[in-house]
Chains A and B, each alone.
Chain A
Amino acid sequence: MAGKIVTISSGKGGVGKTTITANIGLGLAMLGARVICIDADIGLRNLDVMLGLENRIVYDIINYIEGRCRFRQALVRDKRFPELFMMPAAQTRAKDAISVEQMKSVAHEAAQMVDYVLIDSPAGIEHGFRCASAPAELVLVVANPEIASVRDADRVVGLLEAETNTPARLIINRVKPEMVFRKEMLAPEDVVDMLAIDLIGLIPEDPEILTASNRGNPIVLNNGSLAGKAFLDIARRLQGEDVPFAPLKPPSFFQRLLGSH
């Protein structure tokens, strides 16, 4: 049976698509699934860096499309989990180097090999986004709890509904509980209410996420962290497990003392 193709998208840039792709990919691998992560951000590849696999790249997705290598050769095997692979984007090419049909065929070929194919979509709603979302059976739409991001996510959901009718689930990234409690940040409920799609993940803001990504050791590998657990929960929910959402932690007494109020 072919694996499930899931695209991670957002419209707006910088909301955490690539970080989320890397962490969910690893999370699924930690749960024992076979996974291929495809970096569809041709020309601005980052997924390899976050997974700590940059120095192992030999071929990329464009090389494969152009017939310069075989499918397996374009895959980079993860150094921690032998059943996790990444297909890198070409850094020296542009988005139009791949067509929607080609991306579909790559994704379907990948799905023959593994349980999950995760596609890291580029920002924007143009050709790159269309390529990345075309093969998807499910799109995870990433939004930060800020107006601009929510609006762009809304646009993405609208395009998916209108053009491909692909189901979408929501990941809210960079939630700061103390700001939510002070009513300085959109609450997750507000975001869900506006976008009217089901929530699949709620990632608290954590500076550790950034340092972990910079080191090529995504935070999901760190069992103790809240953010790491939130990513693993998403992987579980993708596998059909019913994992309740951890309630936002109200600010502690000290945090309130230190806060500006």
Chain B
Amino acid sequence: MEEMALTLKGTQQGIVLRPLSDSWEDVLQGLENALQDAEAFFRGGRLIAEIGHQELTKDMLAALRAILDRYDMELWAVLSDNETTIHTARTHGLRTRLPGETVGLLPKEQSAAAPTLPDTTPPSSVRTDLGEHALVVQRTLRSGQSIKYPGHVILVGDVNPGAEIIAGGHIIVWGKMRGLAHAGALGDEHALICAIELTPAQLRIAGFFGRPPEGRRRKLVPETAKVSEGAIVVEPWHTRE
């Protein structure tokens, strides 16, 4: 297996790209591959390039943007301690520092502009490391709102119709799941979707896709959705006597 040229990591602020290779070409190639593998997850997102002390020229920046454009992504910020890189980024209207604390959605370590982020995520690959990171959110997710996170997502509250959760790992909703849920969005077929009331518009796990049967009103009990023999199956939550 070839060596990874970069890491990609989802944070509250955006997806953080950190090059591991000195060759910009390799980094871009690696990025392209990663985006291709999990297009649904990355599409529409914004990227924060954490370049370190590498010098980034106008052309390198343009090449990066060209790739992002193809995936409908925005280059939002370039973080660097190299004066030239900072200058180039600024002249292109990019942020070179992240805004301070936002709403506390994320584990602290990932919120602010910390140059020394602990590098716990594995290099971007199709399989996420389940059990690694979970995002806990406590609120109602309303129509038009979206949570995208490479790890698990735990939502304490309702997901209303028109809202979506896209997670690399499991999705657990302590409430009503009436919107769209995509678990294992980076390709993990072992991901689960659980909710106290699982009446979604649509469920997706990895590349699989399911809709609740129409017209039938089930008794509302907590349920779990998973992939079994090539299809999404929904089972009531078993409680022991």
Contacts and interface: CB of A to CB of B under 8 A. Distances in A.
Contacts of B144: 155, 158-159
B143 A154 contact: yes
A154 B162 contact: yes
B161 A162 contact: no
Classify the secondary structure of B's interface with A.
loop
A156 to B, nearest CB: 9
A194 interface: yes
Interface in B139-166: 140, 142-145, 158, 160-163
Given A194-B160, A196-B158, A152 B140 contact: no
Interface in B152-210: 158, 160-163
B158 A162 contact: no
A154 B143 CA distance: 6
Give the interface residue-count category, chain B.
10 to 19
A101 interface: no
A151 B162 CA distance: 7
Given A161-B142, A162-B145, A196-B140, A155 B162 contact: yes
A191 to B, nearest CB: 12
A158 B158 contact: no
Nearest to B141: A158
Contact of A151 (B140, B145, B158, B161): B161
Nearest to A152: B143
A155 B143 contact: yes
Contacts of A194: 158, 160
A194 B145 CA distance: 15
Residue of B144, B145, B158, B161 with most chain A CB atoms under a 10 A cut-off = B144
A172 B201 CA distance: 24
A157 B160 CA distance: 12
Interface string A147-187: 10001101101110110000000000000000000000000
Nearest to B158: A196
Nearest to B103: A162
A14 B158 CA distance: 27
Nearest to B178: A194
Contacts of A161: 142
Contacts of B140: 196
A151 B163 CA distance: 10
B214 to A, nearest CB: 15
Interface in B113-160: 140, 142-145, 158, 160
Contacts of B143: 151-152, 154-155, 158
A193 to B, nearest CB: 9
A2 to B, nearest CB: 29
A158 B162 CA distance: 11
A147 B143 CA distance: 12
Contacts of A151: 143, 160-162
- Which of B142, B144, B158 counts the most A-chain CB atoms under 10 A from its CB? B142
Nearest to A194: B160
B212 to A, nearest CB: 16
A162 B162 CA distance: 16
B160 to A, nearest CB: 5
B12 to A, nearest CB: 13
User: Which 5 interchain pairs have the tightest Cβ spacing?
Assistant: A158-B142, A155-B143, A154-B143, A155-B144, A154-B142
Interface of B: 140, 142-145, 158, 160-163
Interface of A: 147, 151-152, 154-155, 157-159, 161-162, 194, 196
16 contacts: A147-B161, A152-B143, A154-B143, A154-B160, A154-B162, A155-B142, A155-B144, A155-B162, A157-B142, A158-B142, A158-B144, A158-B163, A159-B144, A194-B158, A194-B160, A196-B140
Given A154-B160, A159-B144, 19 more contacts: A147-B161, A151-B143, A151-B160, A151-B161, A151-B162, A152-B143, A154-B142, A154-B143, A154-B161, A154-B162, A155-B142, A155-B144, A158-B144, A158-B145, A161-B142, A194-B158, A194-B160, A196-B140, A196-B158
